[in-house]
Amino acid sequence: MATSLGLGVLVSGTGTNLQAIIDAIERGYLPARICVVISNRSDTYGIKRAKRCGLPTKVVLPTEFKSRAQFDNALLTLLTQHGVDLVVLAGFMRLLSKDFVHAFPDRILNVHPSLLPSFPGLGAQKQALESGVRISGATVHLIDEEMDHGPIVSQCAVPVYSDDDEDTLTRRILKQEHRIYPWCIKMFAEGRVQINNGQVVILNEPRVPDAVIQPSEYK
Ligand code: GRF
């Protein structure tokens, strides 16, 4: 019987975070296995990546269901059938119902391209640029019933430069998503995550030296 943490990865797009997770498992950094990769869109590059790696894949199209509840139920059935312990949203562009969230309590992770609670929702990078912040970043969190909300597992800050556009900022943030997402899943796989009063506690949390986060070179 498999004992490593079973992941169900939900994608809607290019799946670079999925790839980072696959790579982390392959190089022995992340003690987990991907049980199934599910997409709510046909023809996603994420599904192609999964197939290329020989992972089980499913496409579940919302248009084939009468209601959100039925669509979510179909997802839940697949995740359960495949023995999923932890649901990993990796660019999954769809809100999940209360019932779905309750079916995997504190077991659904999401990655978002901003330092939540700033800039939830679509276009997080555009929101950051328009607000004029000088620091943005990536957040991995457990989901609750609100959009882009729930206990934060980890965050990583990146600078925002005056000549950034959505594309440059997106790429800078995405690079960090690929670092912190596998790490967060590893914390779950190693049983090091506890939830206390709605907040995440990481057991034996590694420390970095106190640092001021600022653009690397002021001249
Ligand atoms: C990422 O920026 C993630 O934060 C957001 O959607 C994007 C997905 O990218 N939720 P990918 O499909 O993993 O390449």
Residues 6+ apart with CB under 8 A from 203: 191, 192, 193, 194
- Among the listed residues 112, 141, 149, 178, the single catalytic one is 112
Asked about 112 being catalytic, the answer comes back as yes
Residue 216 has pLDDT above 70, yes or no: no
Summarize pLDDT for 186-214 with one digit per residue, the tens: 999 999 999 999 999 999 998 877 766 66
Task: Identify the bridge partners of residue 195 per DSSP, sorted by sequence position.
Answer: 200
Q: Does 157 or 3 have the greater pLDDT score?
A: 157
pTM: 0.95
In order of start, what are the domains of the chain with their CATH numbers?
A: 1-104 (3.40.50.170), 113-219 (3.40.50.170)
Q: What is the pLDDT of residue 212?
A: 64
Atom number of ligand 1 nearest to Cα 18: 13
Burial class (CB in 10 A: 0-12, 13-18, 19+), 66: exposed
Q: What is the pLDDT of residue 215?
A: 57
- Contact status, residue 40 vs residue 12, Cβ threshold 8 Å: yes
**Nearest C-alpha to atom 12 of ligand 1 is from which residue?**
15
Atom number of ligand 1 nearest to Cα 110: 10
Residue 21 has pLDDT above 90, yes or no: yes
Summarize pLDDT for 27-59 with one digit per residue, the tens: 999 999 999 999 999 989 999 999 999 999 999
Summarize pLDDT for 168-192 with one digit per residue, the tens: 999 999 999 999 999 999 999 999 9
Contacts 24+ apart (CB under 8 A), 85-89: 85/5, 85/6, 85/7, 86/5, 86/6, 86/7, 86/8, 86/32, 86/185, 86/188, 87/7, 87/8, 87/10, 88/7, 88/8, 88/9, 88/10, 88/21, 88/181, 88/185, 89/10, 89/143
**Nearest C-alpha to atom 9 of ligand 1 is from which residue?**
91
